[in-house]
Chain A
Amino acid sequence: MNESPHPDFLWRNPEPRRAYDVVIVGGGGHGLATAYYLAKNHGITDVAVLEKGWLAGGNMARNTTIIRSNYLWDESAGIYEHALKLWEGLAEELDYDLLFSQRGVLNLAHSPADVREGMRRVNANLLNGIDAEWLDADEVKKFCPIVNTSPDVRHPVLGATLQRRAGIAKHDRVAWAYARAADRLGVDLIQGCEVTGFDIAGGRVRGVRTNLGRIGAHRVALAAAGHSSVLAARAGIRLPLQSHPLQALVSELLEPVLDCVVMSGAVHVYVSQAHKGELVMGAGIDAYNSYGQRGSFHIIERQMSAALELFPIFARARVLRTWAGIVDVSPDASPIIGLTPVENLFVNAGWGTGGFKATPGSGWVYADTIANGRPHPLAEPFGLDRFTTGALIDEHGAAAVAH
């Protein structure tokens, strides 16, 4: 690790100018990464990121940081693997330790249907050049000794998929690293700036209205995660998204016991142990729509009982903190990236429960889409028109679990 003291400030805190070439709405991971790649890959530096709260205080600060690319469909494999390849060089590129750790992700199978689906996914991944392995129950036990593979439990472990290149990273550091790099390239990061409307004339966006006044823009790019519907509605666009709470929790700090990530769709829990030592666990979404950034406690209870069955060793661990973020869920559990009916207004949303892993890839293809006014090839299948053509990218069954 770096010996020099961490600087007090990683980016300037400028006043907004009256106009920019590109205004990005939302300073989470995706907005910041988009700004960075606009500047770095496309030389577009007349850019502002407008964030209503503080930088990366939304889902970017709330996620369980699982990174993987073993999605079923070719379109998903394309974009998530692009992201994973970027992750593999990101700390070096941004010159910041991201605590990116490719410790392997297990997706457990608990039923014959899970086994078939898991094997199918392994094969699909291999065909797409993505590392994937199938482990039987004994191999799962060897890879992760604290998983309970006894056949007597309610949801016995019958096997698992393993992606060794998958893992976790430190979410805050990722945001800070992108923010610092974008700032250095000339991007204005403006906090406490809420977009309340759009100036649209002749079918084309001309700027945004904010609590800090009007800001002109040639191009406006939404990256507002859970609030995408609210924003799009102000531009007269109805997005096929529903906003739900997604909860997670951490335990108190423990000695190292778990050196991989374990996910189980059937019992709805995913677990890793962060570098500091806390167990990080996520659950499924709360069923109802909400913008309240909190969920119902029974979700946590259920998630705990599932975790305890899989990991009896956690029985005495104590929950330190639970929280929720608001995730924007699309009908096929895939993101929506691209152009909108309003000219020069772009959308990147619908990452729902699983967009952290995509941060570099999402920013990369979105920046390219904004710069060139047409979808990046990897983003093309994720356009809004797929809901009309019927060419959905149904990752519900494929990912099995929330993300």
Chain B
Amino acid sequence: MLLIDCPWCGPRDEIEFRYGGQAGVAYPEDPAALTDEQWAEYLYVRDNPKGWFHERWFHAAGCRTWFTVRRHTVTHEIKPGGPDGAPEPGRGRDAPDRRRRFPRGLA
């Protein structure tokens, strides 16, 4: 069972979350301009590393926020942060404060 640190609600049991897979996969700016290969890459191909992985989780049974963590796919260790290890824009950086202000479970 994973203990996932929601930036709003704090550490919560995995069953409250839905998995969103690899983080940072942007919708193509001009889909019509893509070749079939590029479109296939966008639709079907994701990173699948053995090691650290930037991935998305959705706090479905909580605050209903999408957020990014780094998780190690062998040890399952979880660290906060968006791609490149930086806090996710507008979220990770603020999270500790919010967590202090909102009692856990009420957010």
CB distance from B28 to the nearest CB of A (A): 15
Min Cβ gap A397→B in Å is 17
The residue in chain A whose Cβ has the minimal distance to the Cβ of B41 is A238
Q: Complex: how many Å from CA A298 to CA B48? A: 24
Whether B71 pairs with A288 at a CB distance below 8 angstroms is yes
Q: Chain B: interface residue count, which band?
A: 20 to 34
Interface 9-residue window, one of B12-20, B83-91, B95-103: B12-20
| Interface check B76, CB cutoff 8 A | yes
Interface positions of B from 40 to 87, Cβ below 8 Å from A: 40-41, 43-46, 48-50, 53, 55, 71, 73-76
Q: Is A162 an interface residue (CB 8 A)?
A: no
Q: Does A389 contact B (CB under 8 A)?
A: yes
Task: Say yes or no for A4: interface residue by CB 8 A criterion.
Answer: no
In the complex where A297-B1, A388-B36 touch, is A292 in contact with B44 (Cβ < 8 A)?
A: no
Contact A298 B53 (CB under 8 A): no
Our count of residue pairs bridging A and B at CB distance below 8 angstroms stands at 58
Q: Does B2 contact A (CB under 8 A)?
A: yes
A242 touches B15 (CB 8 A): no
1/0 per residue, CB under 8 A from B, across A320-354: the answer is 00000000000100000000000000000000000
Contact assessment for B48 and A289 in the assembled complex, using a CB-CB cutoff below 8 Å: yes
Cβ contact within 8 Å between B14 and A296 = yes
The residue that A229 contacts in the complex, of B21, B48, B55, with Cβ under 8 A, is B48
A107 at the A/B interface (Cβ < 8 Å)? no
A243→B71 contact, CB < 8 A: no
**Given A287-B19, A298-B15, are A241 and B75 neighbors across the interface (CB < 8 Å)?**
no
Known: A290-B76, A388-B36. A240 touches B45 (CB 8 A): yes
Q: With CB as the reference atom, state the residue of chain B lying closest to A228.
A: B48
Main SS of chain A's interface residues? loop
Q: Which of B14, B46, B50 gathers most chain A CB within 10 Å?
A: B50
In the complex, which of the residues A241, A297, A331, A387 contacts B48, with contact meaning CB atoms closer than 8 Å? A241
- Contacts of A387 on B, CB cut-off 8 Å? 40, 43-45
A290 touches B14 (CB 8 A): no
How far, in whole Å, are A243 and B15 apart by their CA atoms in the complex?
A: 20
Q: Which of B41, B44, B45 counts the most chain A CB atoms within 10 A?
A: B44
**Residues B50 and A227 in contact, CB atoms below 8 Å apart:** yes
Is B30 in contact with chain A by the CB < 8 A criterion? no
Contacts of B37 in A (CB 8 A): 388
Supplied contacts A230-B48, A292-B73, A387-B45, 10 more A-B pairs, CB within 8 Å: A227-B50, A238-B41, A239-B45, A240-B44, A289-B48, A289-B73, A290-B74, A292-B76, A297-B1, A331-B44
Nearest CB to that of B35 among chain A residues? A388
User: Are B55 and A230 neighbours in the complex by a CB distance under 8 Å?
Assistant: no
Chain A residues lying within 8 Å of B18, measured Cβ to Cβ, are 287
Given contacts A298-B14, A388-B37, contact A242 B21 (CB under 8 A): yes
Binary interface encoding of chain A residues 282-309 relative to chain B, with 1 for a CB under 8 A from any of its CBs, else 0: 0000011111100011100000000000
Nearest B residue to A241 by beta-carbon distance? B48
Q: Determine the chain A residues whose CB is within 8 A of the CB of B2 once the complex forms.
A: 288, 296
